[in-house]
Structure 1
Amino acid sequence: MLRSNIKPDEATLVVTLVACSALGALEFGRWIHSLIDQNTLFDVVSVCNALIDMYAKCGAVEEAYNAFKRMSERNIVSWNSMILGLAIHGHVNEALVLFSKLLEEKLEVPNDITFLGVLCACSHGGMVKEGRRYFDSMRKDYRIQPTIKHYGCMVDILARAGLVEEAYELIRGMPMECNAIVWRTLLACCLLHGNVELGEKVRRHLLKIEPDHSSDYVLLANMYASMGQWDDMARVRISMTEKGVQKPKPGNSLIGVSSKLAETTGLW
């Protein structure tokens, strides 16, 4: 497009930054940022939001925050992108301080995505009391109905802190059907805190949703092993073999090398 002397507009830049976010292509995203500055498009809110999101998802939180601070005008998407970016990368206090600033300015009303970022921050920080308070506030003060993701964050907050029974009751009281991801989060915490009895209950729920998911077998077997229940561990292993369930393979990571990217795009 550039070689054809066609000037990118806001939509072009937003779409390209979204692609950088999905690929983790930080260096390419920085290059797009330079184009934004050259074309004086930084004041376009949608472009800045995409830039913040790209930097945050690529792990460049400081660059995301610098872009956020430069904005002359922000909308709720701007705040959400920054709060979520800080929370996901473990900058718990900064995320909650930014949320407080959002409330103080009273220019934008927090929505369900905002509270997802706040609860994510509480989860990363092990902040049970604060998590409960924010979860209640979103319903009582802002009339926002929690989604499965909000409940998942609360289950994670409670279960990581050892409150696995409370997390279990929270799932049972959910107004929607619980998914395997949330049940699996609780199962992992049952292993962490050695609650075999509850772990077995959780496993029965998982069997109804994803009966042949290898991670569940491994978690249950490891839980039995951690408590010295070797016969039960062997039973789980045998069940895996009989059903042909394979242990999860080790994960692989890929990285993008800027020179290769330049070679394939022909832009640099």
Structure 2
Amino acid sequence: MKLKTVTRAAGRMLNKNASKILLGFGIAGAFMAVGFAVEATPKAMILLENKKKELGVEKLDVKTIVKTAGPVYIPTAVSLGISTVCAVGALKVENKQNAALAAACTLSETALRTYQDKVLETIGPVKEQQIREAVTLDKMAKTPEPAVIPHAKGINLDASEAYGKTIKCWESLSGRPFWSTQNAIEKAINGANKQLLSDSCLTENDLFDYLGIEHNHNGDLLGWDTDTTLGIETFYSSKLDDDGMPCLVLDYRTPPKWLGY
């Protein structure tokens, strides 16, 4: 029983890390090929010089060169071939894993949308909005606030385009606070929606550029496309922070999806 358990665990580990293992073998094979080539070259030069003396010529034809020096490069060719196979295998495994992940994300997204539609149908838009706001505020409360809150980058909060009081804002996808104005945020959303319509897709990090906040690690893999929405719909909540200051909370009615581009 223990042997079966260990075997299954080892199998799962190998399957999970197959692409990394193959890539490791590929890199090792490439280094070995270089080493074999460095070692083989002096031997090949000696063999070619001896062949010239044997035939009494100053220059050998291509066929003779290959026949004479080729065998010493066999280990190099084998190592390079193995390295190539491993690298291609790693890419195929990675592509399969990415395809499986994309399929899982699509299924989860479909299930989430179905659930949201049914909740909206059952309890009505007012209560559904109250639940959305409660969930967002709860998420915000559980996120630690940094010691220094940055201002939105690339946005002049003193300019007319950002009219309105500068206020602490909290963005739900990144879970980070920043200083901005509601008008600047709405302008950023409008700019993002224009890009969505013109390019047919928009990543989270594209949206964050408009908002003037830092990128997310996977922000280029998640976002919106025109297959599912023609615009990012947002909603706002408000809450007092730990110091009793008002905080504007930004969340989305149209959540991002796995783009996988």
Same fold (TM over 0.5): no
Q: TM-score, normalised by structure 2?
A: 0.17
Q: TM-score, normalised by structure 1?
A: 0.17
- Structure ID, larger Rg: 2
More helix per residue: 1
More strand per residue: 2
